[in-house]
Structure 1
Amino acid sequence: MTTLILFLIALAGLLIVLRREAGASSAIAVMVIVGALSLIFGAGGLALLLFAGAALTAAAGLPGFRRSWLTPRIFATFKKVAPRVSDTEKVALEAGTVGWDGELFSGRPDWHNLLINRNTGLTEEEQAFVDNQCTQAISMCNAWDLAVERADLPGELWDFLKKERFFGMIIPKEYGGLEFSAKAQTAVLQKLAANEMLMVSVGVPNSLGPGELLLKYGTDEQKQHYLPRLADGREIPCFGLTGPRAGSDATSLPDTGIVCKGEFEGKEVLGIRLNFEKRWITLAPIATVVGLAFRMFDPDGLLGDTKDYGITCALIPRNTDGMEIGRRHCPIGSPFLNGPIRGKDVFIPLDYIIGGQEMAGQGWRMLVECLSVGRCITLPSGAAGASAYSVATAGGFTRIRRQFNTPVADMEGVQEPLARIAAKTYIAQAAVNHTANMIDGGQKPAVPSAILKYHLTEFQRGVLADAMDVHGGKAVTLGPRNYLGISYSGTPVSITVEGANIMTRSLMIFGQGAIRCHPYVLEELGAKDNDDINAFDKAFFNHAGLIFGNAARAFTQALGLGRADVPFDSASRRYAQAVARFSAAFGLCSDAAMTTLGSELKMRELVSARLGDMLSNLYLASMVLKNWHESQPVDGERDVMEYSLELLLHRTETAMAEFLQNLPSRPVAFALKTITMPLGRCWHAPGDELARKLARAISTDTPVRSKLTSSVWSTEGDEGVVNPVARYNSLLKDYDKAEQLYRKVTKAYAKGELPMTALHPEERFDAALEAGVFSKEEAGFMKEYEAVVLEMLTVDDFPFDEFARSKETVIDHNPV
């Protein structure tokens, strides 16, 4: 019994030392002290074990001992197994900054570093633009008209966008732009996201493209010429990066630019002869200036000794000889302006290179630096906006659509998808708004940009699928009245562009984050490249301390001991503590994967993907916690917060379980499972009661519904333009009164007080008035209410041959 007590004392002491990463000397002291006590109390075996442990710790943990014999051996092995980082990977790793993602990688996140940058919202000017100009723009759209009738935005809308400088949100005011914050850009795009074509047309020029590249790298002459013209729409930009053989793997582009002499404006000048083929280029059909990425070569040494400069970016006017532009692709769902660009022996002067000749070969660095910001904003904001629109429409429709005399929103089978729609919208809004706030604070979040791009566009796909399901036949029948179908069919576009989601999940999130965000891996690789054994010793043994610390934190916190101290209220504290616990477990699992797989981890994409899923869900949960901490919650919002965090933590634990199940080294997987999940799985999917609450919250006139849909256009449209959200909001405001009268007339019919043939609601309302069941005011109210309901339930139909492109092909199925 004495031996057991002493063993537990030693274990507790070591766990405390390891959790705090107090260093080898503290661990040695614990073992020596408890070892001495063991000798005193006659536990000689335990004493021997502890003294041996103290000796080994001294040999490995005290610099003077280990550097003479241990470090050189470890360093030699590390140089053999460490992955080689390519030049293009190095550029990607150096782009952007590390912030909260690095805290999560550490296993001991400091919440102060997340909360210190408070989101103060938009300026008055920015908010006014969202409320006025954005509302006007979206009110000029109908998805069917734009996607089917026009396959374009109306001319008056293009003029309005140019006049109000929608294309100049990122351009400084000195050049005529709006100079909006990242938060304002996300707010604009969320507002416009009810129409994908409009959102894409505005988002792309303000994301990765000529405007941002010119701002960061352009010469003064290029800025003075192009930025004012881009800001007011005199120039419409596009950027040619992807092609038939280079999509998400953009570094493999085969397009070439050969340095040579040629004629330009009547003079022989030194320039570049381009041959290229680009596809999937948004706004290319109408672009007046083309940003182009190509591989630049100087075989004759006209610029110097360098033969292969690498990827270079240039800006080329549309009317340049030899460039073919203007044809269109037809993107699925919403055929926004997107098309190919080709060039055969296109000659341009050297000063067309963005940034001038000195930026030749810097194109990949330029692109990844810009993408780390742009990828955080455009598609994630569109996803958040589309999700909010789904809340507004799915919630409204399921409340007014009745089956078996009951609103379908009260059916549990419908409540489950409604709850998912609400929670994913809440998560998406928190993620885009607070990540944009980080950008405004000076960060360039590279890893979070990949997290948001992948997970929020996948959320969008799921939300729209759920919204379609609860709408049933209303949403699968296309026409001017269908406000969901076209957006739903267009979701693969967001999934595919700016890095295909499969690749983003399996290669980028963890693959980039493991090196970039880990506290010590980048230092270790740098020491290897520089053959610096002292730097390696310091980084490696700090890394070892982190591993043991994460093991101690993950184990004790999983047992409910020594929970992290977090600065959150009682409603959210346990979720933040769970994030801290899983952060330690994630750090430990990451190190285990890198240690056991080494360079092979690059090829183990599913292992990498599951680690990325853990990191992503922890990041998204952190954004929800920050949003809850900083904003003023409305009535019922706690339910949405709890459902969202339970969903994310369940997904985190699921990803960890799948990682452990598939880690090739089974003994290591068993040890990790014992440490990280000693009590088994603890976080389950959100329960039915929460789902019921969320479904009711978004399908009735509540503060939660108003908050989730605050970014959605909700006012009545101009003459001839119907805003379904405004109609649903109006119906929900009167729903309580209408529901009482529905029940009243249904009860009267069941009791035989109304004619058996009164099957239509309108007939029952008239009969109820005649029978004295309804007053005149009640009957009038219900007839008006039901007329709007019927309009919202109605779908479109068309003449028989409406869809035939050639009327000659129409078959007469009813010959005379």
Structure 2
Amino acid sequence: MMTFILFVLAIASLLVVMRQEAGAKTAVGVMVGVGLVSLLFASFWLALLLFIGAGITAAAGLPGFRRSWLTPKAFALFKKVAPKVSETEKVALEAGTVSWDGELFTGKPDWHNLLINRNTGLTDKEQAFLDNQCNQALAMCNAWDIAVERADLPEELWDFLKREKFFGMIISEEYGGLGFSAKAQTAVLQRLAVNEMLMVTVGVPNSLGPGELLIKYGTDEQKEYYLPRLADGREIPCFGLTGPRAGSDATSLPDTGIVCKQEVDGKEVIGLRLNFEKRWITLAPIATVVGLAFRMFDPDGLLSDVEDRGITCALIPRDTDGMEIGRRHCPIGSPFLNGPIIGKDMFIPLDYLIGGEKMAGEGWRMLVECLSVGRCITLPSGAAGGAAFAVATAGGFTRIRRQFNTPIAEMEGVQQSLARIAAKTYIAQAAVNHTANMIDQGQKPAVPSAILKYHLTEYQRDVLCDAMDVHGGKAVTLGPRNYNGISFSGSAVSITVEGANIMTRSLMIFGQGAIRCHPYVLKELAAKDNDDIDAFDEAFFGHAGLVFGNAARAFTQALGLGRADVPFDHGARKYAQSVARFSAAFGLCSDAAMTTLGSELKMRELTSARLGDMLSNLYLASMVLKHWHETQPVDGEQALMAYSLDMLLARTETALVEFLDNLPNRLVAGALRVVTLPIGRRWTGPSDALTHTVAKAISTDSPLRKKLLSSLWVGEGESGVDAVISNPVASYNNLLKDNAKAEKLYRKANKAYSKGELPITALHPEQRFEAALETGVFSEEEAIFMRDYEAKVLEMLTVDDFAFNEFARNKKSVIDHNPSESQPS
């Protein structure tokens, strides 16, 4: 019995030492101490085992022992198995900064580092722009007219956007721009996301493109000329990066710029001969100035003795000889202005290079540094805004749409879709707002930008699918009244641009994060490259301590022992503690994958994707917790917070299980399963009770619905078809304000009908209301109220129809199906 007690004591003591990463000396001391007690009072064999363990630990962990024999062997092995990092990968890894994503890699995230920078919201100037200029722009939008009738924004809206400097949000006031914070840019794009073409038109010039590149890298002359003109819309920019053979793989650009000499205005000028073909370039059809990425070569050594200068960026006026521009692609859904650009034997002077000659060959670094910020804002903000619109419309529609004499919002299948819509909107809003706040604090979140781009655009697609489901026939019949169809069909655009989502998930999130965010891997690789054995020794054995620490933390916290101390209230505490537990499990699994697979991990995309899913869901959960901590909760929000985190942590655990099920080294996988899931799965997803609560909140006039819709243009709203088309959110909000009163009267009339107090032929609601008035079931006031209410409901339920041949582009080829003119055979 004493032997068993001492064995348990030894294990518990070592787990404590490992959790604290107290070091080899402490571990040796614990094993020797417990071994001596065992030798004196219990078992010689247990003591011997502990002494052997102490010896091995001393040899491996104490610098004086290990550096003479262990470190050189480990260093030699590391050089063989460590992945080679190319120059382009190095540039990508060095772009951006590490923040909370790095904490999650440690296995012991310090919540103080997340909460220290509180999101203080927008300035008065930014809020005024959001509430005035943004709302005015949306009031000029008719989605059907923009997407179908004209395939462009109205001229008066273009003029308004230019006059109010929507294209100059990122440009400082010094150059005539608005100088908005990242939080303000996010808020503007969330609001404009109700209309995809409007959001894209405004978002692209404020994201990766000539404006941002000029701000960071342009010469003084380039800034002084172009930035004021970009800010007020005198210049409309586009940026040519992707092409038929180089989409997400921007490093494989086949487009070239050859350094050469040409006579210009009677003088011999050194410049570049450009040949390129770009596709899918947003705003290209109307752009007045084109940013261009190409591969620069100097075969004659006119600038240097290096022939391949690498990827380079230039800024080229539209009317430059040799440029073919103006044709359009037709993007699925909303045909925003997007098209090809082709250049054949174009000559440009060197001063067209962004940043001048000194920035030649720096294009890849320029692009990835800008992308680490822009990718956090434009598409994720559009996804969050579009999701909020789905909350508004799906919640409203399902409350007023009745089947079997009850609102379909009361049906559990519909409630499941509504709750998912609400949760993904809540997560998206928290993620974009708080990540933007990090940017305003000086961060360049490279890995979070990939997380947000992938997951939030996928959320957008999921949310729109759920919204389509609950709307039924209303959503699948296109026309001016259909506020879902265009956005739904266009959701694939966000999935594919700025790095295809498949690639982002399987290669970028973990692939970049494993090296960039890990506390030791980058140091180990640097030591290898510099052949610095002392630096390697320090990094490698620090890394080993982290592995043992994460193993101990993952195991004990999975058992509910030694839970992390977290600065959250009772409702959120268990979720933050679980984030800490899974952070340790994620860190341990990451190291196991890198150790067992080595350089092969690059090709194990599904393994990388599952680790990326763990990291992503932990990051998103952290943003929800930060949002909960910093904002004033409203009635019903705790249920939505719990639903969101239950979903995210269940997904984290699913990714962990799938990783363990498929890790090639089955012995390591089995050991990891014992450590990380000692009592099996714990997270099963949100409960039915949470589903009911959340669904009811967003389908009624509740404080939670209002908070989720705070990013939208709500407006006042009028009845009639014009209101349905121009602002369905306001129409639904007005109906929900009266819904409780209407529901009582629906039940009152239906009860009378079921009792035979109303005529059996009163099948339509309107007929039933009139019969209820005639029989005294309704008062005059109740009948008037329900006539008006039901008329507004019918406006929201009605779908469009068109003349028979209205869809035909070639109306001469339309078959005449008029039955009155058909002839007998």
**TM-score w.r.t. structure 2 length?**
0.98
- Once the two structures are superposed, residues 236-283 of structure 1 have per-residue CA deviations (whole angstroms, 9 ceiling, x without a partner) of 000000000000001001000000111335532110010000000000
Deviation for aligned residue 1:42: 3.3
Do residues 692 (structure 1) and 692 (structure 2) align? Answer: yes
Do residues 740 (structure 1) and 744 (structure 2) align? Answer: yes
Which secondary structure does the structure 2 equivalent of 1:293 belong to? strand
- Once the two structures are superposed, residues 71-108 of structure 1 have per-residue CA deviations (whole angstroms, 9 ceiling, x without a partner) of 00110010001000000000000000000000000101
**Alignment match, 2:710:** 710
CA contact (8 A) 1:278 1:341 kept: yes
- Once the two structures are superposed, residues 457-476 of structure 1 have per-residue CA deviations (whole angstroms, 9 ceiling, x without a partner) of 00000000000000000000
CA contact (8 A) 1:23 1:545 kept: yes
Counterparts of 1:263 and 1:690, CA distance in 2:
73
**Alignment match, 1:68:** 68
Which secondary structure does the structure 1 equivalent of 2:242 belong to? coil
- The AA in structure 1 aligned to 2:773 is L
**Alignment match, 1:728:** 732
**Alignment match, 1:761:** 765
Counterparts of 1:311 and 1:92, CA distance in 2:
13
Counterparts of 1:614 and 1:398, CA distance in 2:
34
Deviation for aligned residue 1:111: 0.3
**Alignment match, 1:658:** 658
How do residues 326-337 of structure 1 correspond to structure 2 at under 5 angstroms?
326-337=326-337
- Once the two structures are superposed, residues 267-306 of structure 1 have per-residue CA deviations (whole angstroms, 9 ceiling, x without a partner) of 3211001000000000000000000000000000001211
Which secondary structure does the structure 2 equivalent of 1:680 belong to? coil
Counterparts of 2:233 and 2:262, CA distance in 1:
31
Which secondary structure does the structure 1 equivalent of 2:5 belong to? helix
**Alignment match, 1:810:** 814
How do residues 465-484 of structure 1 correspond to structure 2 at under 5 angstroms?
465-484=465-484
CA contact (8 A) 2:717 2:734 kept: no
Counterparts of 1:211 and 1:717, CA distance in 2:
37
Counterparts of 1:533 and 1:469, CA distance in 2:
60
The worse-fitting range, judged by mean Cα deviation, of 712-721 and 258-267 is 712-721
**Alignment match, 1:671:** 671
**Alignment match, 1:447:** 447
- The AA in structure 2 aligned to 1:256 is T
CA contact (8 A) 1:264 1:349 kept: no
Deviation for aligned residue 1:722: 2.9
How do residues 1-12 of structure 1 correspond to structure 2 at under 5 angstroms?
1-12=1-12
**Alignment match, 2:219:** 219
**Alignment match, 1:787:** 791
**TM-score w.r.t. structure 1 length?**
0.99
Counterparts of 2:223 and 2:579, CA distance in 1:
45
**Alignment match, 1:157:** 157
Deviation for aligned residue 1:547: 0.1
- The AA in structure 2 aligned to 1:82 is A
- The AA in structure 1 aligned to 2:336 is F
CA contact (8 A) 1:716 1:722 kept: no
Counterparts of 1:76 and 1:766, CA distance in 2:
90
Which secondary structure does the structure 2 equivalent of 1:572 belong to? helix
Counterparts of 1:304 and 1:610, CA distance in 2:
45
- The AA in structure 1 aligned to 2:534 is N
Counterparts of 1:503 and 1:347, CA distance in 2:
35
How do residues 345-494 of structure 1 correspond to structure 2 at under 5 angstroms?
345-494=345-494
**Alignment match, 1:92:** 92
Deviation for aligned residue 1:685: 1.2
- The AA in structure 1 aligned to 2:263 is E
Counterparts of 2:266 and 2:235, CA distance in 1:
25
- The AA in structure 1 aligned to 2:798 is T
- The AA in structure 2 aligned to 1:711 is S
Deviation for aligned residue 1:522: 0.3
Which secondary structure does the structure 2 equivalent of 1:276 belong to? strand
- The AA in structure 2 aligned to 1:171 is I
CA contact (8 A) 2:618 2:652 kept: yes
How do residues 153-232 of structure 1 correspond to structure 2 at under 5 angstroms?
153-232=153-232
Deviation for aligned residue 1:209: 0.2
Q: 1:265 to 1:756 in 2, by over 3 A?
A: farther
**Alignment match, 1:277:** 277
CA contact (8 A) 2:388 2:712 kept: yes
Counterparts of 1:177 and 1:667, CA distance in 2:
59
- The unaligned stretches of length 5 or more in structure 1 are none
Counterparts of 2:439 and 2:601, CA distance in 1:
31
Counterparts of 1:795 and 1:262, CA distance in 2:
62
CA contact (8 A) 1:579 1:622 kept: yes
**Alignment match, 2:531:** 531
Counterparts of 2:338 and 2:409, CA distance in 1:
39
Aligned length: 816
Counterparts of 1:758 and 1:266, CA distance in 2:
90
Q: 1:434 to 1:265 in 2, by over 3 A?
A: farther
- Once the two structures are superposed, residues 144-168 of structure 1 have per-residue CA deviations (whole angstroms, 9 ceiling, x without a partner) of 1111101111111000000000000
The worse-fitting range, judged by mean Cα deviation, of 160-169 and 759-768 is 759-768
Counterparts of 1:298 and 1:71, CA distance in 2:
45
Counterparts of 2:119 and 2:726, CA distance in 1:
34
**Alignment match, 1:35:** 35
**Alignment match, 1:307:** 307
Counterparts of 1:680 and 1:524, CA distance in 2:
34
- The unaligned stretches of length 5 or more in structure 2 are none
- The AA in structure 2 aligned to 1:458 is E
**Alignment match, 1:25:** 25
- The AA in structure 2 aligned to 1:427 is I
Counterparts of 2:411 and 2:803, CA distance in 1:
36
CA contact (8 A) 2:717 2:731 kept: no
Match of 1:797 among 790, 798, 801: 801
Counterparts of 2:342 and 2:228, CA distance in 1:
27
- Once the two structures are superposed, residues 381-424 of structure 1 have per-residue CA deviations (whole angstroms, 9 ceiling, x without a partner) of 00000000000000000000000000000000100000000000
Counterparts of 2:765 and 2:513, CA distance in 1:
59
Counterparts of 2:304 and 2:120, CA distance in 1:
51
**Alignment match, 1:628:** 628
- The AA in structure 1 aligned to 2:193 is A
**Alignment match, 1:581:** 581
CA contact (8 A) 2:141 2:726 kept: no
Counterparts of 1:421 and 1:265, CA distance in 2:
62
- The AA in structure 1 aligned to 2:801 is D
Which secondary structure does the structure 2 equivalent of 1:344 belong to? strand
- Once the two structures are superposed, residues 308-357 of structure 1 have per-residue CA deviations (whole angstroms, 9 ceiling, x without a partner) of 10000000000000000000000000100000000000000000000000
- Once the two structures are superposed, residues 665-710 of structure 1 have per-residue CA deviations (whole angstroms, 9 ceiling, x without a partner) of 0000000000000000001111111101111000000000000011
Counterparts of 2:104 and 2:684, CA distance in 1:
22
Which secondary structure does the structure 1 equivalent of 2:374 belong to? helix
- Once the two structures are superposed, residues 554-593 of structure 1 have per-residue CA deviations (whole angstroms, 9 ceiling, x without a partner) of 0000000000000000000000000000000000000000
Counterparts of 1:3 and 1:137, CA distance in 2:
77
Which secondary structure does the structure 2 equivalent of 1:275 belong to? strand
Which secondary structure does the structure 2 equivalent of 1:257 belong to? strand
**Alignment match, 1:503:** 503
RMSD: 0.8
Counterparts of 1:204 and 1:722, CA distance in 2:
24
- The AA in structure 1 aligned to 2:760 is M
Q: 1:45 to 1:197 in 2, by over 3 A?
A: same
CA contact (8 A) 1:139 1:717 kept: no
Q: Which runs of 4+ in 1 moved over 4 A?
A: 716-721
Counterparts of 1:188 and 1:73, CA distance in 2:
56
Counterparts of 2:56 and 2:757, CA distance in 1:
91
